[in-house]
Amino acid sequence: MPLPPLKLLSNRHVTVDFHRTRDRGFIVVPMTFTRREFAKLGALGFAARFAPPLFAQTTQRQTGYAIIGLGRIADIFMRGVKDSPNSKVTALVSGHRDKALRIAADYGVPESSIYSYDDFDSIVSNKTVDAVYVALPNSMHADFTIRAAKAGKHVLCEKPMAINVGECESMIAACKSASVKLMIAYRCHYESTNLKAVDLIRSGALGQVQAIETAFGFNERAGEWRLDKKLSGGGPLVDVGIYSLNATRYLTGEEPVSFSAFSSVIDQDGRFTSVEENLSWTMKFPSGVVASCATTYGGWMGGFFKVHGAKGWIDADPAFNYDGLHLHAQYSTDVGEFPHTVVDEANPQKNPYQFTAQANHFSNCIQNNLEPKTPGEEGLRDMSYITEIYRAAGISML
């Protein structure tokens, strides 16, 4: 049977879901391309290679999401969902009804599908809601994930998954017992620059990886919930350091086994009475790779990673921003030869493309009963390593 034509969503964008299943040996690369990029892919024969998942998507229904917490990341996620062919915002959950009403008008959400945190559980009877997106302060993730699961809704939960290992385990158990899917919003797993770095490393282009450097941090303003451990569960490590931690794992394909860490508070200005300001840590992996990582709430530390291998190096800088990602690499064909092949790739895709890719992926998993690439277990693993890092730094967790 001939394959249907690829769907052109607008003049500027064609969205495809390169959903590679394990059995077919593909990698999951859901993303949005400009018309020019898409034409390039077509010329390379990629479009034909991925045509069957495209067919699935053009005929798919839209998974309905209830957005829990209408803050900064929820706004970006909802804009990402707008660009997604298989996802839709169908309900809002907020403590501020006036704000929810304004946003509901933008997304065509009926007033009857606006909930408060208190009456959230009545969402069980809302048939337009298939899934929830949990975009609340970290200490509220577990409660709302478990309540959503009890209401029979699939859960896409923001990182960090929760504030300790016990909560992560309860969330996984609740979703399993309700037979709903749980995905943690690790957007870099669905982002093409990060995936290209992983592919280059796995292809052996860099030879044996020896070491990684990575950092991510920013100068946090006083008064933010992120500085209150009761709401955040920790400082920059759980908020943005987690990007570096998670990257070392997807870049190496290994799990860390040894940890060392130092933390400090330099600015005695009242912001760091309950969480750390700076944290630098190292992790050793079974192959012997050592990753040197840093995070801060006291300064500007653009999110990047650099991977050093026997035949060359690769860096993504920035690696974790919402857009403007840039990949550089130099490597040789033989160990001992000076690196000569140069990669210099700026990613032209614009925010919220990562959030569209993430929504595409989770909706596709829900609609086709597939396991998300970043399930609850992925969040749990990071939380267990965060526990080790804090222990090594002498910091207690909630």
Token pair 């690696």: residue: 319
**What stretch of H or E contains 229?**
helix 229-232
Q: What are phi and psi of 15, to 5 degrees?
A: -105, 130
Positions annotated as catalytic residues are 159, 243
Nearer to ligand NAD, 138 or 244 (CB): 138
**CA separation for the pair 383, 160 (Å, rounded):** 8
Nearer to ligand NAD, 76 or 395 (CB): 76
**CA separation for the pair 297, 16 (Å, rounded):** 37
Burial 27-37 (b: 16+ CB within 10 A, else e): ebbbbbbeeeb
Q: Are 59 and 364 in contact (CB under 8 A)?
A: no
**CA separation for the pair 345, 17 (Å, rounded):** 22
Nearer to ligand NAD, 73 or 215 (CB): 73
- Residue 54 sits at the vertex; the CA angle it makes with 49 and 56, to the nearest 5 degrees, is 125
| Nearest distance in Å: CB 123, ligand NAD | 16
| Nearest distance in Å: CB 355, ligand NAD | 8
Q: Give the number of other CB atoms < 10 A from CB of residue 75.
A: 15
| Nearest distance in Å: CB 220, ligand NAD | 11
Nearer to ligand NAD, 141 or 153 (CB): 141
Nearer to ligand NAD, 53 or 236 (CB): 236
| Nearest distance in Å: CB 13, ligand NAD | 21
Which residues partner with 209 through β-bridges? 309
| Nearest distance in Å: CB 139, ligand NAD | 8
| Nearest distance in Å: CB 30, ligand NAD | 16
Question: Sign of torsion, CA 156 160 165 167?
Answer: negative
Strand, coil or helix: 325: coil
Contact set with ligand NAD (CB under 6 A): 69-74, 95, 135-138, 158-159, 185, 187, 225, 231, 239
| Nearest distance in Å: CB 65, ligand NAD | 15
Cite the beta strand spans of the chain per DSSP E: 13-18, 29-34, 63-68, 87-93, 114-115, 131-134, 154-157, 182-184, 209-219, 258-264, 278-284, 290-296, 298-309, 312-316, 326-331, 341-346
Q: Residues with Cβ < 8 Å from 150, sequence gap 6 or more?
A: 121, 124, 174, 178
Nearer to ligand NAD, 9 or 76 (CB): 76
Nearer to ligand NAD, 282 or 374 (CB): 374
The CB-nearest residue to ligand NAD is 71
Q: Give the number of other CB atoms < 10 A from CB of residue 1.
A: 4
**CA separation for the pair 1, 51 (Å, rounded):** 12
